[in-house]
A and B are shown apart, each in its own frame.
Chain A
């Protein structure tokens, strides 16, 4: 077994303590926030939607228990526990109720696999020891809380976002049956309502710099000067008043922490800790209401705004954005804080970010693997296009090299002129094996956003960041993408191979067709994909009306330009960029490979008829081993083979064009995107064998342009050459995974070769690449002896995860990605 080249430990004992406390904590559900929110909701019937939502959130913020854990130097937690999740029954109560009634949560719950080790194992142990209950597969909850929560869910059962949405689309959408069947057969990911928010980055810069008091004054002035000319314009008042309500609630939240720190200081025997607590009381009494006086206060101010936005909604992909750029001015002007202290502060901040858990339906738990996709992006350029990495960029990298927490996932906006010291530090971080930073090509995204939004290039450069795993967006000015979930291209292959009928359930999705030529088969695939995509988009446009009427984000809208100026929340079109809403899919590589096989074997070589190939995949290739071998020898994606690459490009372009043909619920074209998270595993599980040689139930190819495991036979440069052919400026988000054996990247020359690889891909121009630098033997050993690998972190898709908390199927997928050594 080859060890990882870079290993590091937390920079202080304090950080070590925080990390080990996190690693030994069980996952808890905390119902306090939702109970407070629900109490307020019960009493506010009849209020205008935005004002009610703001008041409910503010009520919860002002009354939630401020918990400062021993030794914490940053204040503010999402829950009262070390690892805690808020169950947002106001988004979707039904999955919880179904679980409590011992029913399957949804059609796909049986396919979902979640991890069993680490904090999850701790849950099972503590549940048995302390008589606690387990909810949603891996969270602990006390019996009284569970009873309380049942009442809360029953209250929301017909009022929550999901229930309201269901009423609309199930009644009025002509293709409702198609969507419900799509879930049953695994054409789509399960309903996304339990955790729809995210892919959102707030304007932290303004929040920190101005402070909440001054923002409140600005809004109050707007109201004073307001002279509406019609009823629609007058409606701005509702948003502005909501904004003030929610900001005041947020101030109350921070003040409670100030008081709590002061209270703890009174009885604290240790003089050092007492001093820390008094300092904390002072800081929380100042920020986020007023601008910070130093770097430490700026970090605390950031964390409050970040946390308060996170608490408002059920988020996945809610991100800190360009934190190095945001915090650097505060660091530069603070002579008292040095690099080492900054690193230690970030170490604590990253533990805080990892401590946030989310609870969703089982299906989404399996898909997201508990990951929150908080993406912190470093480097890139300033608005004039000059490289912008700074000391804080390096401090953040160093903190994650030391801590190796799963959150936030780090990314780098790559630009050729970024300084060597920064890039080599980024390469060093990759070589710890944690799988980040992922590298993104800023110029590619600039072109995408120029085409899509038409905003000035300076604005795009200044605000571009990563909202979630691999979806770029403009921080502080984009609509937080609320999308429906993923379309499974693999399932469409199943349907094509079986005349439009799902071979597993027997459900008919499309009419059967006579397929006599390759062109007819390709067209059948495209037409099926078109229906699957269009129905999915239109269904979601119905659902989002319910979002606007039940859970519009008010606090978050305050920090997205230009909601205050327009007097509208994001759902009403307050954000400057509304083209960010994506339509997601995964598995296209398998489609390209399968069509290449059909074309070659059935229509060029006459090695078999299309019917014979259908029988072969229906029988999972049993008795057709010779034919399968021929199928495997047809060129597969990832080898720079024109034969199959041209098919992939054709499909890719068809998909992108088709997705853009439908407007989203904000009136702009849907933006094509393909990423994967953990979908290749559950999507593959529901699929029969494919013509490309893949066996029944095997995971699909991951990412967007990653080859199917084992089918890339010519090394990483060929993978990159294939991937370079794709016009990445067409999509918002893309994903290429490469796995290297540690020896392939060892030493300084190894780091330089890694950077040369990235540079070459981005010249061509690719969009995203990320690396797992780990010995497969080590991963196999970790499967057998998880107890020795509690803190092993690996890259999955747009996120990294603790190995022991991943499902076996996902572990297997990471192991079988082709490992490039030499």
Chain B
């Protein structure tokens, strides 16, 4: 059985699929969207996180670090993440009494995951809920994902995945019968603009979406509203066009927020983009109306 790497399991998730759900956050993502608010999901490996406001500058971690990656500075510490990433002993974690240093990411296999997810079976049954694999990109760990979906389905648990759609088409084909609901991100239809803002072209994404639509899977599109990037007149029009073509009925909007900003520093992830304004080109209501006018069910996620 293959191992999966997660960065969190959250119970009582109520915004990602129907009912009360358990959300499985999987580590690793092939895209680098400039607006991403989950930098901890980028790397597939476990990472040390440093939460500066908790740090009491006791500098015990500096002494404990075997790589010389932690430099004491006034009131806190400075972490050399390149040195830090190469380390697996992580002795610094044990001596941080204030939980300023944490490990994000851990491994388990599908059976172990099922044990955790099954604990909330009665909640799923009473609410029509289930499990949602999200991340990160679940498709970046295809074997673990497939095994997990299968086990959940066999246990009678409703399964959903939230995906950016960028994954091996064979993997998509393999998981499709074991997935009850796809929360499928659609960002930008124009391949060049997509490449510029996410680091990848969208051909494979559109191809996977096309496949799932033809399989008549239950798909809800998720559309991040990013000022001047995705919420343009042209892009919205093209999304509506695609939805018509593939006969997709539902879309959920995700207005951009800057709540993830501080996390970039905590994981030592470089964030080159300038801050994107939270203010949108159009009010959310206007976007909703456009979709409604095209006969598409639309709401804020």
Contact = CB atoms under 8 A, between A and B. Distances in A.
B10 A625 contact: no
Interface residues of B, number: 22
Contact of B120 (A626, A717, A820): A717
Contacts of B122: 760, 763-764
B119 A759 contact: no
A820 B126 contact: no
B150 interface: no
A714 B11 CA distance: 7
Interface in A400-449: none
B97 interface: yes
Interface string A289-304: 0000000000000000
Nearest to B20: A753
A763 B12 CA distance: 18
B119 A749 contact: no
Q: Which of B12, B13, B23, B128 has the most CB of A within 10 A?
A: B12
Contacts of B12: 715-717, 744, 757, 820, 822
Interface in B119-137: 119-120, 122-123, 126-129
B95 interface: yes
B97 A629 contact: yes
B97 A715 contact: no
Nearest to B126: A756
A348 interface: no
A715 B14 CA distance: 12
A750 B98 CA distance: 35
A461 interface: no
Nearest to A724: B122
Interface in A744-800: 744-745, 749-750, 752-753, 756-757, 759-760, 763-764
A822 B20 contact: no
A134 B12 CA distance: 49
Nearest to A740: B12
B95 A822 contact: no
Interface string B99-128: 100000000000000000001101100111
Contacts of A753: 14, 19-20, 127, 129
Contacts of A714: 11
Contact of A749 (B14, B99, B123): B14
B126 A625 contact: no
Q: Size band of the A side of the interface?
A: 20 to 34
A716 B13 CA distance: 10
Interface in B1-57: 10-15, 18-20, 23
Contacts of A626: 95, 97
Contacts of A715: 10-12
Contacts of A209: none
A760 B97 contact: no
A718 interface: yes
Interface in B165-217: none
A463 interface: no
A763 B95 CA distance: 43
A756 B23 contact: no
Contacts of B18: 749
A721 interface: yes
Contacts of A764: 122
A820 B11 CA distance: 10
Contacts of B19: 752-753, 756
Contacts of A749: 14, 18
Contacts of A640: 119
Contacts of B97: 625-626, 628-629
A482 B183 CA distance: 57
Contacts of B128: 756
Nearest to A416: B126
Contacts of B120: 717
A744 B13 CA distance: 8
A757 B20 contact: yes
Contacts of B13: 822
A756 B123 contact: yes
A757 B20 CA distance: 8
Interface in A723-755: 744-745, 749-750, 752-753
Contacts of A757: 12, 20, 123, 127
B162 to A, nearest CB: 13
Q: Which of A625, A716, A756, A820 has the most CB of B within 10 A?
A: A756
Interface in A693-728: 714-718, 721
Nearest to A624: B97
Given A756-B127, A822-B23, A717 B119 contact: yes
B77 to A, nearest CB: 17
Given A629-B97, A640-B119, A716 B127 contact: no
A106 B291 CA distance: 68
Contacts of B20: 717, 753, 756-757
Contact of A822 (B14, B99, B119, B126): B14
Nearest to B95: A626
Contact of A717 (B15, B95, B99, B123): B123
A752 B14 CA distance: 11
A21 B1 CA distance: 69
A755 to B, nearest CB: 8
Q: Which of A640, A716, A752 has the most CB of B within 10 A?
A: A752
Contacts of A750: 14
A714 B126 CA distance: 19
A745 B14 CA distance: 8
A625 B18 CA distance: 43
Contacts of B11: 714-718
Contacts of B126: 756, 759-760, 763
A744 B12 CA distance: 9
B58 to A, nearest CB: 8
A752 B123 CA distance: 12
A628 B98 CA distance: 10
B102 to A, nearest CB: 12
B114 to A, nearest CB: 16
A744 B14 contact: yes
Contacts of B98: 625
Q: Which of B18, B20, B23, B128 has the most CB of A within 10 A?
A: B20
Interface string B66-110: 000000000000000000000000000001011100000000000
B22 to A, nearest CB: 8
A744 B14 CA distance: 7
Nearest to A764: B122
A330 B97 CA distance: 64
Given A625-B97, A628-B97, A753-B20, A822 B123 contact: no
A822 B10 CA distance: 8
Nearest to B58: A625
Nearest to A626: B97
Nearest to A628: B97
Contacts of A760: 122-123, 126-127
A512 to B, nearest CB: 32
Nearest to A744: B14
B161 to A, nearest CB: 17
A86 to B, nearest CB: 46
Contacts of A763: 122, 126
A614 to B, nearest CB: 20
A750 B19 CA distance: 9
B233 to A, nearest CB: 29
Contacts of B23: 822
Nearest to A721: B119
Contacts of B14: 744-745, 749-750, 753, 822
Nearest to B125: A760
Contacts of A744: 12, 14
* For the complex of A and B, 3 pairs with smallest distance between CB atoms: A756-B127, A715-B11, A625-B97
8 contacts: A625-B97, A628-B97, A715-B11, A715-B12, A756-B126, A759-B126, A763-B126, A822-B13
Given A757-B12, A763-B122, 14 more contacts: A714-B11, A717-B11, A717-B20, A717-B119, A717-B120, A718-B11, A744-B14, A749-B14, A749-B18, A753-B127, A756-B20, A759-B126, A822-B10, A822-B14
